[in-house]
């Protein structure tokens, strides 16, 4: 293992680690509806955790871009990985559940949200915009320059552990200290209140946040041959494939994001949202 945990860190490197930890906690608070607080594990506890994982490990990796360069990886147990996926999918917490393809997709989406929140928060530290490109569930190649074990705790959920691995080039860019430098204290990292949550998305998307999108209210559909369309005239009735009691659909960019009932607001049609499409359904819609 890397011996970095036994040597002092620069303030910049320590801030980078704490920013990732706080960003992950904020996203988890938003997803789970409960605060998550992070604390760093002692080096010997982290090493024991790595030894215990062996073939039971799940990996996630990002490529740092823009004002940072290098690789950022994470290691966690399959059990903790499934539990995190269950949080995003709003499934009951089942520690004995096997990891499915849906869990893998949800875990990847959750890690992208972690990275988006961290990238937004790290721009000041890096001196400009930061990006983290998802590399997939791949193990960091070679010996990391820095390895840090973190445990997140919540009053509503069992604790879980992740080990962050920073590639040597990224660690160098963050100015690791020499052994003669004084150590930097490692306080526990607490999540911010909900109204201070960092955006859980790629910062590049911020450029598109003011772009207008077409929002469509769909009552139903029907396919008609051309000759029937040409025969339409005033008073014709076109029967749709949806029952009058069925909820109508709200579409953005051609994708269904919600269901609800039609209401009248100041003489105009509106939609009272009754159901938001689940995160898993949104993931599936992106595949189509």
Q: What is the pLDDT of residues 110-158, one digit of tens each?
A: 999 999 999 999 988 988 899 999 999 999 999 999 999 999 999 988 9
Examine the pLDDT at 23 and tell me if it is beyond 70: yes
The span from the CA of 235 to the CA of 64, in Å, is 61
pLDDT of residue 5: 42
Which has the minimum average pLDDT: 48-57, 97-106, 254-263, 275-284?
A: 275-284
pLDDT of residue 2: 41
Q: For 205, which DSSP code?
A: G
pLDDT of residue 203: 56
Domain with CATH 2.30.330.10 in the chain: 212-287
b/e map 36-75, b = 16+ CB within 10 Å? bbbbbbebeebbebbeebeeebbbbbbbbeeebebbbbbb
Contact between 279 and 285 under an 8 Å Cβ cutoff? The reply is: no
Q: What is the pTM (predicted TM-score) of this model?
A: 0.62
Q: What is the mean pLDDT of residues 69-73?
A: 95
Q: What is the mean pLDDT of residues 228-250?
A: 85
pLDDT of residue 287: 56
Top-confidence residue, 213 or 39: 39
Domain with CATH 3.40.1550.10 in the chain: 4-207
- The percent of residues above 70 in pLDDT, for the chain, comes to 81
Q: What is the mean pLDDT of residues 48-66?
A: 91
The span from the CA of 144 to the CA of 172, in Å, is 11
Banded model confidence at residue 10, pLDDT cuts 50, 70, 90: confident
Examine the pLDDT at 197 and tell me if it is beyond 60: no
Examine the pLDDT at 283 and tell me if it is beyond 70: no
Question: Span 212-287: which CATH code?
Answer: 2.30.330.10
Which has the minimum average pLDDT: 57-71, 97-111, 143-157, 174-188?
A: 174-188
CATH superfamily entry for domain 4-207: CheC-like (3.40.1550.10)
- Paired with 248 in beta bridges are 260
Examine the pLDDT at 22 and tell me if it is beyond 60: yes
Q: What is the mean pLDDT of residues 220-235?
A: 88
Phi and psi angles of residue 69, each rounded to the nearest 5 degrees, phi first: -140, 145
Rounded to the nearest 10 degrees, how much is the dihedral formed by the CA atoms of 280, 282, 286, 288? 80
Banded model confidence at residue 284, pLDDT cuts 50, 70, 90: low
pLDDT of residue 206: 56
The span from the CA of 72 to the CA of 63, in Å, is 6
pLDDT of residue 282: 62
pLDDT of residue 43: 92
- Paired with 258 in beta bridges are 250, 276
pLDDT of residue 46: 93
The span from the CA of 117 to the CA of 8, in Å, is 26
pLDDT of residue 84: 94
């Amino acid at each position: 293992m890397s011996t970095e945990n036994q040597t002092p860190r620069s303030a910049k490197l320590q801030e980078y680690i704490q920013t990732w930890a706080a960003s992950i906690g904020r996203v988890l608070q938003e997803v789970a509806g409960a605060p998550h607080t992070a604390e760093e594990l002692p080096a010997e506890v982290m090493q024991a955790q790595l030894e215990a994982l062996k073939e039971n490990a799940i990996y996630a990796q990002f490529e740092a871009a823009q004002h940072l360069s290098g690789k950022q990886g994470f290691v966690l147990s399959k059990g903790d990985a499934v539990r995190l996926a269950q949080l995003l999918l709003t499934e009951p917490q089942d520690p004995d559940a096997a990891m499915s393809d849906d869990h893998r997709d949800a875990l990847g989406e959750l890690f992208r949200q972690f990275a988006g929140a961290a990238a937004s928060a790290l721009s000041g530290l890096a001196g400009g915009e930061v990006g983290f490109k998802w590399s997939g569930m791949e193990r960091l190649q070679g010996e990391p320059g820095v390895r840090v074990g973190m445990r997140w705790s919540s009053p509503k959920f069992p604790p879980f552990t992740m080990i962050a691995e920073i590639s040597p080039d990224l660690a160098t860019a963050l100015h690791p200290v020499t052994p003669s430098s004084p150590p930097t204290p490692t306080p526990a990292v607490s999540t911010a209140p909900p109204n201070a949550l960092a955006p859980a998305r790629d910062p590049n998307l911020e450029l598109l946040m003011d772009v207008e999108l077409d929002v469509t209210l769909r009552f139903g559909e029907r396919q008609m041959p051309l000759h029937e369309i040409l025969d339409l005239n005033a008073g014709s009735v076109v029967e749709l494939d949806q029952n009058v009691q069925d909820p109508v659909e709200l579409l953005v960019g051609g994708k269904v994001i919600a269901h609800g009932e039609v209401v009248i607001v100041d003489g105009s049609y509106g939609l009272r949202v009754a159901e938001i499409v689940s995160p898993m359904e949104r993931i599936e819609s992106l595949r189509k």
